[in-house]
Amino acid sequence: MQKSIVFGANGYLGRHLVHYLQKDGHNVLASGVRDKSIDSIVNYFKADISYEEEVEQIDFNVDYIFVFAGLTGTNVAFDNPNKFIDVNEKGLLNILNHHRQTNSKARIIYPSTRLVYKGVKNKFLKEEDEKEALTIYAQNKLSCESYLKMYATNFDIDYSIFRVCVPYGNVFSDDYSYGTIGFFLNKAKNNQNITLFGKGEVKRTFTHVEDICLSIIETLKIQSDKNSTFNIGSKDNFSLYEVAAFFAKKYNIEIELIDWPKMALKIESGDTIFDDQKLLSLTAYQYKNDLKTWLEKN
């Protein structure tokens, strides 16, 4: 039985990852900043990875360390940059330094984001395509990707990076989804119109959280993938307007198009749709979910 630590086990991706790792037979040690696991995980411990002394108390004699703890956001980080750096960057560095000091053999698994890419209209982006950080959060992710590569080169610490575009879905509750889809769903269920900036023409890859977790787990079963970066794709690559239209049709609401706010336009990356052939050619993973079917159930 493989043993894994999941930092950020109370977060959206982290708690789902714990769920699917356990289903796959992993012995999971779950960790978060809260006193207790929100899912009543037995093997749970409280730890704040932004504090070096707390990380140093953790036994890294495991197979995998999933670093899914962190702060997310776009322009909000400009108001509190130090906190984003402390949690998102120093947190990973604390883990990496404790890893090398204890001679751990664990592989570090790290989730990155679509926001590291310079978007290109109608282009499916590959892992090596041009990067551009327009927010502190995006720069956090790019910096952390670089730290992982540095520590692999200098200290032989293995890693895998998985870039996620727009996640959605929830195996714990039908009442909540995450991010963009969560916003649309909340508006629709409250009989409120969906507001989009501009014409809603920017495109995204929308991936169900089950497919995110399972594609990660399947990739890790192939040992040759270490020290690699993967895009996680899906069956669904749509404009925001197209997705909003799915909700509008089901819930009989309208779509309202408004001018781009100045700040939102400055940090908009443009189309970010993922080429996932690197992951699929390695694993032959087949996505289990699609957005339209999921919406029919919600």
pLDDT at 35: 96
Distance from C-alpha of 253 to C-alpha of 186, rounded to nearest angstrom: 12
The residues pairing with 204 across neighbouring beta strands, listed in sequence order, are 238, 272
Residue 105 has pLDDT above 80, yes or no: yes
pLDDT digits (tens, 9 = 90+) for 198-238: 999 999 999 999 999 999 999 999 977 789 999 999 999 99
C-beta atoms surrounding 191 within 10 Å? 9
Above pLDDT 90, what percent of the chain?
93
pLDDT at 175: 64
What fold, for 170-205+235-273+288-296? UDP-galactose 4-epimerase; domain 1 (3.90.25)
pLDDT at 241: 98
Distance from C-alpha of 96 to C-alpha of 104, rounded to nearest angstrom: 10
Residue 176 has pLDDT above 70, yes or no: no
pLDDT digits (tens, 9 = 90+) for 124-141: 999 999 999 999 999 999
pLDDT digits (tens, 9 = 90+) for 230-252: 999 999 999 999 999 999 999 99
pLDDT at 297: 85
Angle between helices 12-23 and 209-220 (to 10 degrees): 50
What fold, for 3-166+207-231? Rossmann fold (3.40.50)
Domain edges within the chain: 3-166+207-231, 170-205+235-273+288-296
Those residues with Cβ within 8 angstroms of residue 42's Cβ, 6 or more apart along the chain or in another chain: none
pLDDT digits (tens, 9 = 90+) for 10-55: 999 999 999 999 999 999 999 999 999 999 999 999 999 999 999 9
| pLDDT category of residue 276 using cuts at 50, 70 and 90 | very high
CB 252 within 8 A of CB 190: no
